Each structure stands twice: as C-alpha cells, then as structure tokens.
Amino acid sequence: MSTPNDPRIPWQTPAPNPPQAAAPGYGPASAHPQGQVSHPLATHPNPAPLPPVGWRPGYRQEKQNLGYHRLSHADPKGAWWKPLVEAVIGVPLYLVLSLLLVVAFFFALLLGLDPALPADPSYLILAASPGILEQEALRSPATFVFLFGSVALMFPALWVARLILGPKPWGLIHSVAGRMRWGWLATCFGIAALLIVALPLAFDTALGARYVPSTTLPVSGLIAMLVAIALVVPVQAYAEELVFRGYLMQTIGRWLKHPAWAIVIPAPLFMLGHLYDLWGQLSVLVMGLAAGYITWRTGGLEAAIALHVVNNLLAMSFGVLGMADPFLQEGSTVGMFISSLVSNGLFVLVVIWAVNRRGLERTRPALVWVKESYPEEPQPVR
C-alpha cells in the first residue's frame, strides 16, 4: 500500500517518500513491555528547511549576470521600495550634517582660524549672498572647504543610509566586483590626466595660448588653497558620483531593466545641480551622459570618478591661480561645448579600449528572485 508524498515545499523539489513504520506483526518486536505505551516527542521524518532569504510566494530564484545598474538585485533582501526609504533616511541625515558644517564654519570665523576672512560671524550672512561665497572660495581655504565640503557630505549620508537598509555589501555601489577596483581607478586617472589636462594644454600652447598665473594671494595663502583643493575636491567629486551615478543609476535599474534609462535620467539632474548658462549646462550634461555610460560599460564608478576628479581639480586650480573663473555663470560659448563634447567622447573611447584590453568583468552573477511563469491552460473548444 502506497502513501502520498510530503506536501510540496514551494522553494524546494519534493522529497522522496519517507520510510513507513512496520505493520503490526511484522518487523522487530517493540522495546516496551505489553501494556506500556511510549510517548516520544512528535517529529517529522523530513522537516522542511527554512525558505531562502527574500523568498515570496510565486517567485523563484534564477541565476543572472547583472549589469552595474541592476546590482541592487544582487542583495536577496532587496525590494523595489527600499531605494525610496534609503532617500528618506539619507536626505535628513545630509541636512543635519550640513547644519553641523555651518556651525563649524561659524566657529572658524569666530576664532579667526582663516586669515583671509574677517573674524566676524556676521560674515555668514554676507557669504549667503549670490556669488559672494564662490568669490571668497578662491582665496579663503575655510570658505572653500565649507562650499565643497557641503557637497562632500552626501558621501557619509548615503553610506549610513545604505548601511541601515542596503543593498549590501556597500562595495556594490562601487563596482560589479563588490569593491573599488583600485588598479583600474589608477588607470582611469592616468587616462583622464592625459586627455583632460595634458593634451588640451599642449594643443592650446601650440596654438599660441599662454597660461600665466595672475593670483594676488601670498605664497602661504596659495599653498593653503592648493592643499585644500587637493584634499576636498576628490571627496566632493566622489560624493557626487556616488549619488548621481551610484544611487540614482542603481535605483532606476531596480525598476527599469534597460541601461539607457539608468544612464539618461540622472544626467539632467546632474546638469541642474550646476548653475551655468546654456552652453555651460549643456557641457555638464555631456559629462553626465559620458560618466553614466562608462559606469555601465565598465561595470563600476572608477572611470566616472577619475573624470570628475581630474576635471574639478583642473578647474579649481586654474581658478586659484587666476587663469580662469570656474564659477562663471555666463559667457560660455558653443566652442566650449564642442570642446567638452570632444574631450568627453575621446575619454569614453579610450576607457572602453582599456577596459576591453584588461578584460575586466562588466557584470556580476547572482541569484535573482523572478516571478514564476505558468503555462496557460488550454481553453475548451466551444
């Protein structure tokens, strides 16, 4: 006589029939004398295992190779709503950190820690005026740290939010390898330094351009400014990439599968965060699109970080030396836009060549929860 199998476990193949107890009169004699009944703890011969992390009814696990924008799916605890809650945690935290930075700047003024600024806390009111803060940032290390540090604070705010809610590990925001690929980052810095700095300067010099510093800062003040730029700008650019290419691309990729959405949608937001005129903002848009594309194409943020850091280091250094105004909000030309288009396009092409040559992984294999698909039942013939 046969017995039915155990009830099917949704996330597991049904187990074979368990061994059955012997019928009376068969098998070994009972170990208990007649009249005495044993009452052992009831146990199931095949106890059901716990479901895998992230299991939901109607879903099954499927192995997929995830592009950078889809890496949030690599965390089995991920859910469509978590990026929204991540923002709910991160934005207020960023505002609190920004307030603390304002307090620190207030005390720097009060104690006269920066000789380039008046020892008067009321300067904060003046600094809030349009354009004043940017002008002072090119001669005052404290003002520069305050201005660019306010952007850099997006990094710890996002880190804490992701630490609380995921996706985890944190390294998934850097690359498909789950970490920062330092060797590849160094290569990208070399490419950016060559294409964004060395070649344009050499080309301009060959055409007769002369780059002559015209700063009025004393030597000590100039050194202090250059040190502030070297320390703060990389963190500021890294923080922007974490938000615009990291968080936003992976959030959009959580909901929309095609990479074009994750590349294109953050770019206008990145552009609107920079207050320039038409051609200046279009140049920023080109950079945002280039950074998004190479992030997806290389499987990580490294190339975008290098492009952003080198570009900002060059602009701020030229500003402090009096050779350009990085905060100029008008006067950009179509020629500047074309130059941005060419330099960013060339950077993208060289990075793609380099990543193909190195054979870096562009995707990450992971078990992803997908909806079960059931064959349609045949309709009765009428």
Structure tokens at 330: 């008008």
- Residue tagged 């095609």 (tokens): 258
Q: What percent of the chain has pLDDT over 90?
A: 55
Which pLDDT does position 201 carry in this prediction? 87
The CA distance from 119 to 107, in Å, is 9
Say whether pLDDT at 129 is over 80. no
Which pLDDT does position 37 carry in this prediction? 54
The CA distance from 261 to 249, in Å, is 8
Triad 243, 161, 366: Cα angle to 5°: 80
Say whether pLDDT at 33 is over 90. no
Q: Helix 302-320 and helix 182-192: axis angle, to 10°?
A: 40
For 156-197, the DSSP string reads HHHHHHHHHH-SSSGGGGTBTTSS--HHHHHHHHHHHIIIII
Say whether pLDDT at 38 is over 60. no
- Residue tagged 């960023």 (tokens): 94
Which pLDDT does position 135 carry in this prediction? 82
Task: Please give the biggest Cα pair distance in the chain.
Answer: 112
What are the distances in angstroms from CA 287 to CA 199, 253, 304, 326?
A: 18, 20, 9, 16
In the three-class reduction of DSSP (H, G, I as helix; E, B as strand; rest coil), residue 116 is classed as coil
For 322-341, the DSSP string reads TS--TT--S---HHHHHHHH
pLDDT tens across 111-121, in order? 888 888 776 76
The CA distance from 108 to 95, in Å, is 20
Which pLDDT does position 69 carry in this prediction? 96
Backbone angles phi, psi at 364, to 5 degrees: -125, 120
Per-residue pLDDT, averaged over 177-197, amounts to 97
Judge contact between 284 and 270, C-beta under 8 A.
yes
Among 319, 214, 254, 279, which residue's Cα sits nearest to residue 75? 254
CA gyration radius for the chain? 30
The CA distance from 345 to 60, in Å, is 42
What are the distances in angstroms from CA 58 to CA 53, 257, 370, 377?
A: 14, 20, 9, 17
pLDDT tens across 270-301, in order? 999 887 888 989 999 999 999 999 999 999 99
CB atoms under 10 Å from CB of 276, counted, come to 18
The CA distance from 351 to 273, in Å, is 26
In the three-class reduction of DSSP (H, G, I as helix; E, B as strand; rest coil), residue 160 is classed as helix
Peptide bond preceding 167: is omega within 30 degrees of 0, i.e. cis? yes
pLDDT tens across 132-177, in order? 788 888 999 999 999 999 999 999 999 999 999 888 899 999 999 9
What are the distances in angstroms from CA 101 to CA 56, 110, 161, 268, 278?
A: 44, 14, 19, 28, 32
